[in-house]
């Protein structure tokens, strides 16, 4: 046993005390603590950053990012390796600032790893000798669905080691942080999660048993096919997520019959043919997001929201946004309002003869709808909009989830520089951002399927739509990012002016139906609920199961999903979203039925269907029109 006493019998410094001394020395000689005249920090750490360097200031990170930006796999695997390395630097600095705690956590991790490995091999030995054994409950993770992850002790050990290491790394990121949820902490957590996901053994050929088995079964053909798939994706500049040859807009997507009855430089307006003998007097006008194409609302007949509403007796009109090019770089956010819902409203009223319109804003379209309603409320003219629906839409951008990782001043400046050069933000940049929010589902699963297993991606309408993106006009997108995600100005009465009128959401008095999605990674449902507190009208809020897309596109005919509603009154009467949830009632099935029950009494009497188009706005062409087909 080591004796920590000197020859004189006096106790020397014990190991824990030595660690404490080391910790004090680190705190005194790193970062701001060491920034005294004549004594620069031995390891300079920017104040408030928690350790590490911003990528632009660290030559290693700068070089890593430049090399990766030039790599042909950059658009297939859009990870920010410089930020990942920086996140690891930050975590390492946090660990070293408290070595006693770091040592304890490392010892605990190694103990758990040893116990897990011992259990795996004990079970394998018992299975080999035919001895009775207690079935070991492995960790559940659908990435490890191949039978070898449970039957082969090597793969089982690899799986358990990876899952333990992942848990350790992400837990340390949380436990070494202070109590505040800072932007730095959110960024650290996000990029560490990207690293953890990337390092999963299923993502590598030699540690993926399903891929190795398939190579053996196909005599190497799957490996050759995987290389061909990779080269094809490199040529296309994107990761294939679905069989693009299986779909065509106007052929098997967006096929609900209708006509384009109006066109300007920014929108086409589609009027759909009625499917009932009598229709509700007040028409519906959809305002979809312009960061995607509208046909998410009219995918195929069996999951088309447009078709469902027509079958319930509603009149339906749809805005289809133009895919902007460099010539439209000066298109302003105000143009999206005046040439979008306001221009469309005039046409809808002329065709239907209805003074009122029930608008539906989806995602960014819901943000635009809120601004439009506030603009109309600030004027003295007539408001054509009646009962408004907001589908997973943000107005208060104080809580936006992991999307905030991509939005700060330096990143917006970088995007603005790109847009100055091109005139727009490229659709692939947006696609990469949203794919990273669900990297395991949208990136790594496809890398495994396409390249390691050598298979073609299966046809999937939602993923085809997801890959059929649009560009963002420079002026409008810069205004949107700065006044929403960066500065959250829409919730500050009068801070934003549109068309010379101050935007005050509190002046909105329309009846409102708002819906959020329980697992939405783009618009957290608690943020979608906030319109009930921001607007002055009564709000019915509905919480749907699933996520941003699947939660919204869930027809009753599927018999799937559930939703929560509160029958006790205005959603705005509750102080918080959590309080609303505690008093809500869970119901089985799609939220569409609850929505149409709310909407029908606000849609007037049943009347004979009006004709398609009018004298002033005759039909131009068949739906889905021209703009939606632009690439």
The more confidently predicted of residues 429 and 21 is 429
The more confidently predicted of residues 507 and 23 is 507
3-state DSSP call for residue 39? strand
Question: Cα–Cα distance between 495 and 383 in angstroms, integer?
Answer: 22
Paired tokens of 420:
């100055």
In a domain, 353, yes or no: yes
pLDDT for 592 equals 98
Which residue numbers are catalytic?
Answer: 363
Strand order through the sheet with 284-287: 585-588, 562-565, 539-544, 512-517, 388-391, 358-362, 284-287, 316-321, 267-272, 258-263, 621-622
**Are 46 and 53 a contacting pair, CB within 8 Å?**
yes
In a domain, 283, yes or no: yes
3-state DSSP call for residue 370? helix
pLDDT for 137 equals 62
Whether residue 57 is predicted with pLDDT greater than 80 in this model: the reply is: no
Torsion-angle region of 171 (φ positive above 0: left; ψ -120 to 50: alpha; else: beta) = alpha
pLDDT for 249 equals 98
Average of per-residue pLDDT across 256-280 = 99
Whether residue 261 is predicted with pLDDT greater than 70 in this model: the reply is: yes
Whether residue 46 is predicted with pLDDT greater than 90 in this model: the reply is: no
Nearest to 571 by CA among 525, 532, 601: 532
Residue 261 host element (H or E): strand 258-263
* Co-location of 184 and 144 in the same domain: yes
Q: What is the DSSP string of 82-111?
A: HHHHHHHHHHHHHHHTSHHHHHHHHHHHHH
In a domain, 579, yes or no: no
Total domain count, the chain:
3
pLDDT, one tens digit per residue, over 85-102 is: 999 999 998 888 888 888
* Co-location of 311 and 353 in the same domain: yes
* Co-location of 273 and 200 in the same domain: no
* Co-location of 482 and 335 in the same domain: yes
**Are 449 and 455 a contacting pair, CB within 8 Å?**
yes
**Are 55 and 61 a contacting pair, CB within 8 Å?**
yes
Question: Degrees (nearest 5) of the Cα angle 338, 343, 348?
Answer: 150
Enumerate residues 6+ apart whose C-beta is below 8 A from 326. 422, 423, 424
Residue 87 structural domain: 51-133+140-209
In a domain, 300, yes or no: yes
Paired tokens of 509:
């008095």
The more confidently predicted of residues 41 and 498 is 498
Question: Degrees (nearest 5) of the Cα angle 483, 489, 492?
Answer: 165
Share of the chain above pLDDT 70, in %: 89
Whether residue 19 is predicted with pLDDT greater than 80 in this model: the reply is: no
Question: Degrees (nearest 5) of the Cα angle 58, 64, 66?
Answer: 100
Q: In angstroms, what CA-CA distances link 456 with 2, 21, 438, 452, 469?
A: 62, 58, 21, 11, 21
Q: In angstroms, what CA-CA distances link 629 with 253, 254, 285, 465?
A: 11, 11, 21, 12
* Co-location of 330 and 281 in the same domain: yes
**Are 432 and 425 a contacting pair, CB within 8 Å?**
no
pLDDT, one tens digit per residue, over 333-352 is: 999 999 999 999 999 999 99
Give the alpha-carbon dihedral of 220, 224, 225, 230, to 10 degrees: 140
pLDDT for 446 equals 97
* Co-location of 67 and 149 in the same domain: yes
pLDDT for 163 equals 92
Enumerate residues 6+ apart whose C-beta is below 8 A from 37. none
In a domain, 566, yes or no: no
* Co-location of 40 and 55 in the same domain: no
In a domain, 378, yes or no: yes
558: number of Cβ within 10 Å? 12
* Co-location of 173 and 299 in the same domain: no
pLDDT for 70 equals 86
Mean predicted lDDT score pLDDT of the chain: 89
* Co-location of 63 and 144 in the same domain: yes
Whether residue 232 is predicted with pLDDT greater than 80 in this model: the reply is: yes
Q: In angstroms, what CA-CA distances link 566 with 512, 583, 599?
A: 14, 7, 16
Burial 515-554 (b: 16+ CB within 10 A, else e): bbbbebebbbbbbbbbbbbbbebbbbbbbbbbbbbbbbbb
Whether residue 34 is predicted with pLDDT greater than 60 in this model: the reply is: no
Among the candidates 209, 225, 248, a domain finishes at 209
In a domain, 166, yes or no: yes
Find how far residue 613's CA is from the centre of its chain: 37
Nearest to 375 by CA among 501, 531, 511, 510: 501
356 exposed, middle or buried (CB, 10 Å; 0-12, 13-18, 19+)? buried
* Co-location of 78 and 19 in the same domain: no
* Co-location of 117 and 18 in the same domain: no
- Longest C-alpha distance within the chain, in Å? 109
Paired tokens of 406:
């991509």
Residue 288, domain CATH: 3.40.50
* Co-location of 21 and 75 in the same domain: no
Torsion-angle region of 9 (φ positive above 0: left; ψ -120 to 50: alpha; else: beta) = left
DSSP state of 630: -
In a domain, 20, yes or no: yes
pLDDT, one tens digit per residue, over 459-486 is: 999 999 999 999 999 999 999 999 999 9
Banded pLDDT at 55 (limits 50, 70, 90): low
Q: Which of 165-169, 388-392, 611-615 has the lowest mean pLDDT?
A: 165-169
Give the alpha-carbon dihedral of 299, 300, 303, 308, to 10 degrees: 100
pTM as predicted: 0.87
Banded pLDDT at 117 (limits 50, 70, 90): confident
Banded pLDDT at 277 (limits 50, 70, 90): very high
pLDDT for 58 equals 76
Whether residue 238 is predicted with pLDDT greater than 70 in this model: the reply is: yes
**Are 339 and 369 a contacting pair, CB within 8 Å?**
no
Whether residue 588 is predicted with pLDDT greater than 80 in this model: the reply is: yes
Pairing of strands 267-272, 539-544: unpaired
């Amino acid at each position: 046993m080591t004796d920590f006493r000197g020859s004189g019998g006096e106790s020397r410094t014990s190991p824990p005390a030595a660690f404490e001394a080391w910790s004090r020395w680190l705190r005194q000689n790193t970062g701001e603590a060491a920034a005294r005249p004549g004594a620069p920090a031995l390891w300079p750490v920017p104040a408030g950053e928690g350790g590490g360097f911003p990528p632009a200031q660290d030559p290693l990170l700068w070089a890593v990012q430049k090399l990766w930006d030039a790599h042909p796999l950059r658009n297939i695997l859009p990870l920010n390796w410089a930020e990942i390395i920086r996140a690891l630097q930050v975590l390492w600095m946090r660990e070293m600032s408290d070595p006693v705690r770091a040592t304890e956590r490392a010892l605990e991790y190694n103990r758990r790893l040893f116990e897990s490995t011992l259990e795996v091999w004990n079970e394998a030995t018992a299975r080999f000798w035919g001895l009775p054994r207690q079935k070991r409950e492995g960790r559940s993770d659908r990435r490890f669905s191949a039978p070898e992850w449970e039957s082969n002790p090597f793969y089982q050990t690899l799986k358990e080691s990876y899952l333990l290491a992942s848990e350790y790394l992400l837990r340390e990121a949380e436990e070494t942080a202070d109590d505040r949820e800072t932007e730095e902490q959110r960024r650290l957590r996000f990029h560490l999660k990207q690293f953890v996901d990337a390092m999963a053994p299923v993502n590598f050929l030699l540690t993926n048993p399903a891929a190795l088995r398939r190579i053996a079964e196909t005599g190497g053909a799957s490996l050759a096919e995987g290389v061909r798939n990779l080269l094809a994706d490199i040529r296309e500049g994107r990761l294939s997520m679905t069989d693009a040859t299986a779909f065509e807009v106007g052929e098997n997507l967006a096929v609900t019959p209708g006509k384009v009855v109006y066109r300007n430089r920014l929108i086409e307006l589609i009027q759909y043919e009625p499917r009932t003998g009598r229709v509700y007097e007040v028409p519906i006008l959809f305002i979809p997001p312009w960061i995607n194409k509208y046909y998410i609302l009219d995918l195929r007949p069996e999951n088309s929201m447009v078709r469902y509403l027509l079958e319930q007796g509603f009149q339906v009109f749809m805005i289809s946004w133009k895919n902007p090019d460099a010539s439209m770089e000066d298109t302003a956010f105000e143009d999206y309002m005046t040439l979008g819902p306001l221009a469309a409203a005039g046409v809808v009223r002329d065709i239907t003869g209805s003074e009122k319109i029930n608008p539906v804003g989806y995602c960014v379209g819901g943000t635009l709808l809120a601004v439009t309603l506030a603009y109309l409320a600030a004027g003295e003219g007539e408001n054509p909009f009646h009962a408004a629906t907001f589908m997973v839409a943000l107005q208060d951008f104080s809580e936006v989830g992991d999307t905030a990782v991509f939005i700060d001043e330096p990143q917006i400046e970088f995007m603005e520089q790109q847009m100055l050069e091109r005139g727009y933000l490229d659709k692939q940049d947006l696609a990469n951002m949203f794919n990273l929010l669900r990297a395991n589902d949208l990136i790594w699963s496809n890398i495994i399927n396409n390249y390691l297993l050598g298979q073609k991606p299966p046809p999937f309408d939602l993923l085809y739509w997801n890959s059929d993106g649009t560009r963002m006009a420079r002026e409008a997108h810069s205004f949107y990012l700065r006044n929403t995600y960066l500065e959250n100005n829409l919730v500050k009465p009068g801070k934003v002016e549109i068309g010379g009128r101050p935007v005050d959401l509190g002046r909105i008095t329309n009846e409102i139906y708002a819906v959020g999605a329980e697992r939405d990674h783009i618009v957290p449902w608690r943020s979608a609920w906030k319109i009930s507190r921001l607007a002055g009208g009564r709000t019915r809020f509905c919480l749907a199961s699933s996520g941003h897309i699947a939660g919204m596109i869930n027809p009753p005919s599927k018999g799937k999903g559930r939703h929560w509603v509160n029958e006790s009154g205005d959603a705005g009467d509750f102080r918080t979203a959590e309080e609303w949830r505690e008093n809500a009632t869970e119901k089985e099935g799609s939220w569409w039925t609850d929505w149409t029950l709310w909407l029908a009494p606000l849609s007037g009497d049943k009347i004979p269907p009006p004709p398609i188009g009018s004298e002033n706005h005759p039909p131009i062409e068949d739906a889905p029109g021209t703009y939606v087909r632009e690439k």
